[in-house]
Structure 1
Amino acid sequence: MSTLREKREMENKIKLDNIQQLHNAVLQFSNNTMEIKKLLVSVLIAFFTIVVAIDNKFETFADFHIIILSVIIILFWLLDAQSYYYQKKLRSRISKLQSELSESVKYEEVKTCKLVIISIFNVSMFIYWVALGIVLLLRVMVLK
């Protein structure tokens, strides 16, 4: 009886350690998403500075520049969405481990397809929507 109890306690200790490690990984992914957004803003500022320095006129903002801007924003968006996706996957794993430790915690697995869509189109991706909106406005201004 005692060995069964000790085995269960050891399994619970391992699960708690796994939860702590997964939590640390989630925090790291969370920090990475913020750094990705900061890097995007830096790249966009550098891009505009280079374009203005080379062209010396904002009116010559060409379709080529619009395409480059759009590609930069979309690549950062996908990179950020990937980090968000892995955060959600790790949180799901944490919930599963918590449900195994406690009967009061219910575990519901999220389908991968739904998780991908949630990762790409969530509120934390608002900066990319705004950036793409600005690019579209620039495109409309160039056409005038």
Structure 2
Amino acid sequence: MQYNNETNNNSDIADELNKIQIQQLHNATLNFSNNSLETKKLCITVEVAVFTLLTAIYKEESSYSKLIDAVRFFGILVPSLFYIVDVVLYFYQDRLREKMVIEGNEIRKRYKLTEKVINKNKHRVRKSFFNGSQIMYFGLVIIAVLFPLVLTA
């Protein structure tokens, strides 16, 4: 009987350690998610600030073509840089979610429960580059390309 009680005790300790690990991974995932949202907010703020500065610098009518070029250049550059940061954040969120499933499966194995399927997506990097949360960056680039065309028409 002593052996069975000790096994249950070890199992309970292992369960608790897995639960703590899952909670820590969950908190880290939330942190990456919040950072991703803040990155998007900062991108919009920087974009507005850059356009405001460009308008102030090139306010003379003779500099209008330079303004159009600068708006197009920075309108593509700023979202592109923030997009790269957001891709990295999304990639690590996805990896952390996978680790959470692995930890949960450790508990399931001990109790002989059905394990969750681990999504070891071979296309994780591609998924990080093209996901719905990053459509804003593509929209900003499209605006940067089309807006100057509208102004010159």
Same fold, judged at TM 0.5 (above) = yes
Alignment match, 1:89 = 95
Equivalent residue for 1:132, pick from 135, 141, 147: 141
Question: In structure 1, the residue corresponding to 2:123 is in which secondary structure?
Answer: helix
| Mapping 1:1-144, distance limit 5 Å | 1=3, 2-56=5-59, 57=61, 59-60=64-65, 61-102=67-108, 103-111=113-121, 113-141=122-150
Question: In structure 1, the residue corresponding to 2:119 is in which secondary structure?
Answer: coil
Deviations 1:74-98, CA, capped at 9 Å, x for gaps:
1100101111111111011101111
Contact 2:50 2:74 in 1 (8 A): no
Deviation at 1:107, TM superposition (A): 2.6
Question: In structure 2, the residue corresponding to 1:15 is in which secondary structure?
Answer: helix
Deviation at 1:110, TM superposition (A): 1.8
| Identity fraction in percent | 29
* Aligned CA-pair RMSD: 1.9
Deviation at 1:10, TM superposition (A): 1.0
Matched residues, number:
143
Contact 2:71 2:148 in 1 (8 A): no
- The normalised TM-score by structure 1 is 0.89
Contact 1:96 1:107 in 2 (8 A): no
Contact 1:59 1:142 in 2 (8 A): no
Give the AA of the match of 1:50.
L
Structure with max Cα Rg: 2
Deviation at 1:119, TM superposition (A): 1.1
Question: In structure 1, the residue corresponding to 2:133 is in which secondary structure?
Answer: helix
Give the AA of the match of 2:126.
I
Moved more, 119-128 or 58-67: 58-67
Contact 2:76 2:144 in 1 (8 A): yes
